[in-house]
Amino acid sequence: MAGMFPTLVSDPNDRNRRFTGEVGETWPDALRRGYVLCLISAVLMLVIGFALIAAGTPERIDDAVRDTFSRNLRLVAWGNIVLALVLASAAAYFPKGSKTARRVAGATIGLTVFLNLAGFVVGVAGWASFVVVIVLVIALFFMFRPAANAFVDERSGDPWRGVE
């Protein structure tokens, strides 16, 4: 029986930490869901980025903060566009079970969450940024489920295989 309190040593019977099934030829549903959510968020990020560029700096902004607002707006817009392209490119390798692609996607998701939350706090981005953050956090959850980890370990090679 799994322990009630978390420790550094996992119980072999803990179903939340170990994948007990067989790794098949097709990629697991958890990794597929993470892939779809990454693509959905990449599309949303592209729409947000292009919408921010098209909207530009509003006329009602005070002249004292116009330059700072414009710089922040461009940073959030181009950051979303570039990070969306990197995320979609990394997600394309999920069906192959690439460890590097998951690492790149994880780092990209971290940067995207920071960028969108900072853009919202500064007042440049709207509520759509929160949707992107929520979708990306759920995608990250699915990308690293035990079934997805077992599939990636099987395809990319696990240095800890056979170690008890």
User: Which of residues 58 and 159 earns the better pLDDT score?
Assistant: 58
pLDDT at 20: 55
pLDDT of residue 5: 66
DSSP H or E stretch at residue 32: helix 29-55
State the average pLDDT for the chain. 84
Neighbours of 73 (CB within 10 A): 22
pLDDT at 133 over 90: yes
Which residues, other chains included, contact 64 with Cβ-Cβ below 8 Å and sequence gap of 6+?
Answer: none
> Which tens digit of pLDDT belongs to each residue from 72-81?
999 999 999 9
Q: Are 139 and 30 in contact (CB under 8 A)?
A: no
Residue 9's alpha-carbon distances to 6, 18, 119, in angstroms, are: 8, 12, 40
What are the boundaries of each domain within the chain?
29-156
Kindly list the distances between the CA atom of residue 124 and the CA atoms of 48, 130, 132, in Å, as whole numbers in the listed order: 11, 13, 15
How does residue 156 score in pLDDT terms, banded at 50, 70 and 90?
Answer: confident
Q: What pTM was computed for the model? A: 0.80
